[in-house]
Amino acid sequence: MFLIMKGLKVIGFDADDTLWVNEDYYRNTEKRYAGLLAEFGEEKAILDSLFSTEMGNLELFGYGIKPFIISMIENAIRISEGKVSTTILSEIIAMGREMMKMPIQLLPGVKEVLADLSSKYRLIVATKGDLLDQERKLQLSSLAGYFHHIEIMSHKTNETYSELLGHLGISPEEFLMIGNSMRSDILPPYELGCYAIHVPYELTWQYEMDVESIPENHRFKKVDQLTDVLNIIR
């Protein structure tokens, strides 16, 4: 089924886990983290505590690897009751550094989709996270040339999407957002009256999953992979 978007001018793409792999690195690091702290509890308890710590820090520190490192260190001190060694804390910092240096692995069909749509619409990146890290990933991805604008948000809310539309000088019905997160990429622009296409990724951060879905309709579609987008935009 096609989305009927006669006035569409701009298409926004999320970056992490929409254009390139991201969540896998967090999951792998969490596994190693739990192993480092095994003397202080079971893996599930350690990771549940870590998620709780991340949620407590979210409003102040935002998203990305740097807040993740801070939360890992804070959580290690808490669950160990201050007994965690400086050696383990140093290893946690080193794991964060490794994450910051991971190569960019594009998801299947990304360049094909961007090449096709960039000939018909203005494309932008609308993503959240740490400014320096997202700029680094975009540069290494070799995708920057497809985009007219890069928007790195501290949070993705109705308000920040509304500000983005104002900056772009377009109305909601002229904008389509594509991404893997219902909470961050789909619901806010959809609630503003924009079009939205959900492209789920096989791994999703727990925080991004705790929302209800939307029944498919003339403004919202869910696809299995990014290349499917080319079959529903006309």
Domain 23-100 -> CATH class:
mainly alpha
The answer to whether 15 touches 180, Cβ cutoff 8 Å, is no
Buried b / exposed e over 140-178, threshold 16 CB at 10 Å, is: ebebeebbeeebbbeebeeeebeebbeebebebbbbbbb
Q: Which residue has the higher pLDDT, 13 or 214?
A: 13
Give the CB-side neighbour count of residue 95, counting CA atoms within 13 A: 24
> What's the pLDDT at 124?
97
CATH number for the segment(s) 10-20+104-231: 3.40.50.1000
Q: Give the amino acid at 106.
A: L
- Measured distance CA(93)–CA(106) in Å, rounded: 26
- Spell out the domain ranges in the chain: 10-20+104-231, 23-100
Mean pLDDT for the stretch of residues 137-166? 93
Asked if pLDDT for residue 164 goes beyond 80, the answer is yes
